């Protein structure tokens, strides 16, 4: 039996641990924080490869993850929803985006001023306070262990295979200067009964999206590359609410619940999922930015093949 330590307890680490356990590995997850305290817990977590460049590897991960979520939805996995979604465009797009090949219900329609087009599709959405708990429970039900442990060097992990799913911490742990934070600010309001998600990334006032969950609605947001602080900004929160109520007037007057700030673990050049060039025991899996949920199960499949496919 292959002994694996997964370093990192966010969505990438937990999904990788589950896939490895399903293939018979003995898995321990080392997480510096409780999974509900990771950046994954702050994510809006709607399936959509935001700010992710096209390449065959990423397209494969996104498609595999979409299908995994659809199966889990059919199985009644807690914390998952399926939301009709509209991406609004102020300038026409020349062709369907690359990721639409993975999604269901894709349709490009004419827009209503100021939008020239609307791209409709069905998007899985994870309520991460519930879904991360389900992932952690699946790890333990399958015989894995989750330990609270903060590492200062990956050499501390002594196992047949070590999976580096440490997100932003990978910058220091493996001396990767391409890793950088992208600050995201969201606001949560009470859901007045809406079920459709809307996204306007071409809003000149700022990135704007509305993701309705079962009890609340995620209003966003910001995408501040290189900004690594958690400082509250009331003016920024007010601007988010104003943009989102303009996009979905049904939200006008919705009761404010909370705001969240998280640091997306981005990487110039895209996610790194590969065997380390100098240590064949070490598999890197970090740098997913704001698309961790969207790429998670596909990455977990690849991590598992890298770890066990050759054995």
The ranges of the chain with pLDDT < 50 are: 311
Q: What percent of the chain is predicted at pLDDT more than 70?
A: 99
d(CA 76, CA 185): 30
Cis omega before residue 203 (within 30°)? no
Angle between helices 11-22 and 128-141 (to 10 degrees): 30
The answer to whether the CB of 163 falls within 8 A of the CB of 6 is yes
> What is the C-alpha separation between 247 and 242, in angstroms, rounded?
9
pLDDT at 311: 43
Query: 3-state DSSP call for residue 53?
Result: coil
Vertex 190 angle, CA 187 and 191, to 5°: 110
Q: Is 143 left (phi over 0), alpha (psi -120 to 50) or beta?
A: left
Task: Identify the pLDDT of residue 273.
Answer: 98
pLDDT of residue 44: 87
Report the distance separating Cα 181 and Cα 209, nearest Å: 20
* Closest-CA residue to 126 (of 185, 214, 221, 193): 214
Residue 227: how many CA atoms within 13 Å on its side-chain side? 12
Buried b (16+ CB within 10 A) or exposed e, 41-57: bbbbbbbbbbebeeeee
Quick one: pLDDT at residue 42?
Answer: 85
**C-beta neighbour count of 82 within 10 angstroms:** 16
34/50 Cα distance (integer angstroms): 26
In this structure, what is the dihedral angle of CA atoms 173, 175, 177, 178, given to the nearest 10 degrees?
A: -70
Domain at 3-308: CATH architecture: 2-Layer Sandwich (3.30)
Tell me the per-residue pLDDT of 170-225, one tens digit each, with 9 for 90 and over: 999 999 999 999 999 999 999 999 999 999 989 999 999 999 999 999 999 999 99
Would you say 297 and 175 are in contact if contact means Cβ atoms under 8 Å apart? Answer: no
């Amino acid at each position: 039996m292959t002994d694996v330590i997964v370093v990192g307890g966010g969505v990438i680490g937990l999904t990788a641990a589950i896939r490895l356990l399903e293939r018979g590995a003995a898995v321990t997850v080392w997480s510096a924080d409780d999974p509900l305290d990771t950046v994954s817990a702050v994510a809006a977590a709607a399936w959509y490869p935001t700010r992710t460049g096209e390449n065959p590897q990423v397209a494969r991960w996104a498609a595999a993850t979409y299908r995994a979520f659809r199966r889990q939805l059919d199985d009644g996995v807690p914390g998952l929803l399926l939301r009709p979604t509209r991406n609004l465009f102020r300038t026409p797009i020349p062709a369907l985006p690359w990721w639409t090949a993975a999604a269901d219900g894709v349709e490009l329609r004419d827009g209503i001023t100021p939008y020239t087009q609307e791209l409709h599709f069905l998007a899985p959405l994870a309520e991460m306070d519930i879904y991360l708990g389900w992932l952690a429970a699946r790890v333990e039900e399958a015989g894995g262990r989750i330990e609270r442990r903060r590492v200062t060097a990956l050499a501390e992990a002594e196992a047949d295979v070590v999976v580096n799913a440490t997100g932003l911490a990978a910058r220091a742990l493996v001396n990767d200067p391409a890793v950088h934070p992208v600050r995201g600010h969201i606001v949560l309001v009470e859901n007045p009964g809406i079920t459709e998600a809307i996204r306007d990334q071409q809003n000149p006032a700022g990135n704007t999206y509305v993701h309705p969950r079962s009890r609340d609605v995620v209003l966003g947001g910001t995408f501040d590359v290189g900004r690594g602080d958690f400082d509250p900004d009331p003016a920024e929160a007010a601007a988010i609410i104003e943009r989102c109520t303009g996009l979905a007037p049904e939200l006008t007057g919705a009761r404010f619940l909370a705001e969240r700030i998280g640091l997306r673990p981005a990487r110039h050049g895209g996610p790194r999922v590969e065997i380390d060039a100098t240590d064949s025991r070490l598999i890197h899996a970090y740098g997913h930015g704001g698309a961790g949920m969207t790429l998670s199960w596909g990455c977990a499949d690849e991590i598992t093949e890298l770890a066990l496919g050759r054995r």
